[in-house]
Amino acid sequence: MAISAETIKELRALTGAGVLDCKKALDENNGDFEKAADYLRQKGLAAAAKKATREANEGLIGTYVHTGSKVAGMVEVNCETDFVARTDTFQALVKDLAMQVVAARPLYVRREDIPADVLAAKQAEFMAELAGSGKPADIVERIVAGKADKYFQETLLLEQPFIKDPSVTVGDLVTQAVAKLGENIKVRRFARLEVGEDAGEAA
């Protein structure tokens, strides 16, 4: 079936994919707009996974100061080129991440950043909560794993629900930006400052 230029334009606006990719996606899905959009998203996510090993030494440091200037967030986000760092898409991502740091109070960027002793203490805490429960070992193991996942979602920046759209995680948001911009993007570090908070309490 014939694919209209308007449909291709709409698909491109939605997905950020190139004109030829949009036309191919529509052709391969018999003009079905939703299926074509999903096809492009999957293709973008697969491409993003391949880019994750590439060096990312450019980027920006973004800041967000909440109304009243009592709390602020700062985040360093890296990409591969200065060209991408200067795009509106990348700059919007960095600002959103700084806002996330202020609003959601993460403690670490990713799981590998959690100190081994902190992780061990949390595991022991979860086990202690179930001590004497009489539940079978395999059930206890599943409950502890569930508690650990909840802890990760609360404290890890990349695993937190995105404050502007809780249906996606911050990690998903970064992956979508990788697919759209065509470069590896890494959240390197962040800091959160709040008036009256002790230095040891800051993230």
Q: What is the pLDDT of residues 113-150, one digit of tens each?
A: 999 999 889 888 888 887 777 788 788 888 888 888 89
Residue-wise DSSP of 92-141: HHHHHHHHHHHHH--SBSSGGGS-HHHHHHHHHHHHHHHTT----HHHHH
Average confidence (pLDDT) over 110-115:
92
pLDDT of 13 above 80? no
Q: Which two tokens stand for residue 9?
A: 């334009």
Mention every residue, 6+ apart, whose C-beta is less than 8 A from residue 182: 47, 51, 84
Average confidence (pLDDT) over 40-54:
63
Q: Which domains does the chain have, with CATH numbers?
A: 5-51 (1.10.8.10), 58-110+156-201 (3.30.479.20), 115-154 (no CATH)
In order of 5, 13, 17, 26, 40, the CA distances from 20 in angstroms are 11, 13, 8, 10, 11
Tens of pLDDT, residue by residue over 48-101, are 556 666 677 799 999 999 989 899 999 999 999 999 999 999 999 999 999 999
Tens of pLDDT, residue by residue over 160-193, are 999 999 999 999 999 889 888 888 899 999 999 9
The closest of 109, 92, 129 to 170, measured between CA atoms, is 109
Residue-wise DSSP of 157-175: GGGSEETTEEEEEHHHHHH
Find residue 64's DSSP bridge partners.
73
CA angle, residues 127, 130, 135, in degrees to nearest 5: 120
Q: Mean pLDDT in the chain?
A: 86
